[in-house]
Amino acid sequence: MPISPYVLLPRASSVQETPASEKGGGGAPAPLLGDAGLLAVPFSPDLEPEVGLPVPVAALLAHYEAEGAAGEIVEVPVAHGDAVGRVLLYGIGDGSASALRKAGAAVARRGKGRDAIRILLPEGPVAALVEGALLATYNFRIGEAKSAPVAIVEFVGDDVEAEVTRGGTIAEAVSFARDLTNTPSSIKTPAWLAERAVEHVVGTPEGGEKDGGDGVRLAAKVWDEAALLAERFGGLLAVGQGSVSPPRLVELSYRPEGATRHVVLVGKGITYDTGGLSLKPTDNMKFMKTDMAGGAVVAAVIGALASLGTRIRVTGLIAAAENSFSGTAQRPSDVITQYGGRTVEVLNTDAEGRLVLADALAYADAELEPDAVVDIATLTGAIGIALGKDLGAVFATDDGLAAELTEAAESSGEGLWRMPLIEDYVPALESSVADLANIESGTTFGATYGAGSITAALFLREFTGGRPWAHLDIAGVGRSGADEGIFSKGATGYGVRLLLEWLC
């Protein structure tokens, strides 16, 4: 499984009363390690570990100069029948969500290759710890795994069922987004992506409606190539015309009874990006199977809403296409007509994400009447240069929406930095033959104005109809280069936690 399965056990499962003469650590209860012989127990400067050990716990921590920082671990061998077990004293820092998330990930990674790890939860909100532990077990591999994560995670605590369920639901949603994004493009065509997204939400790849329980209706619809042509989704058709795998537009609907607010999420779903005739260099092309990360996030978020119980109406749009090159591919200097009638001069076919997003944004404005629109996309390499690998970018036309998303990002542990929409840069999008150009007219990326991520956002804004809108550029944060913390090498699923925190 992509993340390890988990169970919740009562706190009594972690300790057992033993005769005083056999108790370690000054008479503390001795640990029940479980079948795998691995028990993790929290501590901090304000929290003493609840575990019996062969030596006094305070002296042990002093010996290792352990301070209880988030993710700090002191490993202690203990008797486990005829074998040797391990107790992991794990630091939880200040007990904040970010500290607990880090602690959970550190502990879960210590269980790698084992049958199970038993984690004693601290008091209070622990959803972030559960989320961190499970995400650290994520594994995507086609073929036999070289080193498997822990087979099962046992969380131990009382009156924490809701917290464990929330943490598990969010981790599973992130895992689903990572799975879609990590899947090779030899499998992941636009049609395949559409089927997986629809199946995830309504249970069948054919679409239709489903009762989500608690007064919630779930629905899914897919536009194939013929429908896109009939309804004039010119951006999707232009980007996809060079590939043997035709484009798709996916609409996923979450409708709870009594909803008074409607949010539309739009995800870029480029299942592979060669750059088209404006061909990418080989090194830049290696990871382009992840160029649909935004679409994966949208599908994962819609699929998790019912479990988390939000009462906001949410519609997800995934604009899916493969940007390839062939005799039928669009050419630099082509003029296309986007959904709704705006014309665009395509000066660089590698600026394709904004073309498919523009169709979806224009459709949302014209047909869905949302109160707010948020798009998410691996849109520009420029944003990775500006903000690096730890911060996503948010561009927004509404200060309140920007503040809500930034606050949700901080709570969820996904860094986000607001970037400006600079009006002086709007002339960069002027075209002599169309309403707009898809990059700076007559130049390569950023030659005069620079700020490629800003001009890309300004382009998208043209299709939002003046509604409250935010654009999340996740090109720098959508992929991890290493197994570390909650991340595994490959897709990060960035945006799932942020958007679920915002909506739920």
Residue pLDDT, tens place only, 13-44: 665 544 333 444 444 455 678 777 899 999 99
- In words, the CATH class of domain 6-159 is alpha beta
Write down the mean pLDDT value for the chain. 93
Q: Which of 221, 232, 255, 280 is catalytic?
A: 280
Which residues are bridge partners to 117 per DSSP? Answer: 153
Residue the block writes with tokens 């090194």:
283
Q: Which of 354, 461, 467, 479 is catalytic?
A: 354
User: Would you kindly state where each structural domain of the chain is located, as residue ranges?
Assistant: 6-159, 173-503
Q: Output the six-digit token pair for 125.
A: 């909100």
- In words, the CATH class of domain 173-503 is alpha beta
Q: Can you give the pLDDT at residue 448?
A: 74
Inter-CA distances, 309 with 6, 99, 169, 282, Å: 21, 26, 11, 44
Sign of CA dihedral 386, 390, 395, 399: negative
Q: What confidence tens digit (pLDDT) does each residue in 310-328 have?
A: 999 999 999 999 999 999 9
Is 280 designated active site?
yes
Is 354 designated active site?
yes
* Separation of alpha carbons 288 and 272, rounded Å: 5
Q: Can you give the pLDDT at residue 146?
A: 75
Q: What confidence tens digit (pLDDT) does each residue in 90-148 have?
A: 999 999 999 999 999 999 999 999 999 999 999 989 999 999 999 999 999 888 777 78
CA atoms within 13 A on the CB side of 160: 23
Q: Can you give the pLDDT at residue 490?
A: 95
Does residue 443 surpass a pLDDT of 90? Answer: no
Residue 453's contacts (CB-CB under 8 Å, 6 or more residues apart) are 379, 380, 382, 383, 386, 393, 419, 473
Residue 21's contacts (CB-CB under 8 Å, 6 or more residues apart) are none
